[in-house]
Amino acid sequence: MTNTQTNTPDTLPKRPIYMRRGPMENLATAIIGLGFLMMFQPFVLALYTWSFITLLAGTVMFIIVSKFPE
């Protein structure tokens, strides 16, 4: 009985937020979205210059964090 209780998700130690898939995937998606906006915006050339690295960072981050446990 005690064993069953200790194995429930409520009693498991919580992972830090940067190790959880959900929030980190959302963050990566936001970075990809930001990179997209920077790449296709018509206002500031400097934003376009930095857009690729932002997009790349977001995409790599998405690939990594999508392997994290929920």
Partner 1 sequence: MDNDTGMIDRAATVAARATPPRLVRRVRGLSDKAIAWLFIAPTMILLLVINIFPLIWTIQLSFTNYRANRPNAEVVNVGLRNYERLLTDPDVWIAMQTTAQFVFWSILLQTVIGFSLAYLIDRKFRGHAFWTTVILIPMMLSPAVVGNFWRFLYQPQIGLFNYIVSFFTGVEPSSFEMLGSVSLAPWSIVIVDTWMWTPYVMLICLAGLRSIPDYIYEAAEVDRASPWRQFWSITVPMALPFIMLAVLFRGIENFKMFDMVNLLTGGGPGSITEVASITLKRQAFEAWRTGPSSAFAIILFVAVFGLANIYVKALNRVKQR
Residue 40 interacts with partner 1 (CB under 8 A): yes or no: yes
The sign of the dihedral angle between the CA atoms of 21, 22, 26, 32 is positive
Q: Return the closest-CA partner of residue 52 out of 34, 35, 30.
A: 35
Residue 25 in contact with partner 1, rule: CB under 8 A: yes
**Does 23 engage in binding with partner 1 (CB under 8 A)?**
no
Does position 27 interact with partner 1 (CB under 8 A)? The reply is no
Residues that bind partner 1 (CB under 8 A): 25, 28-29, 32-33, 35-36, 39-42, 45, 48-49, 51-52, 55-56, 58-59, 62-63, 66
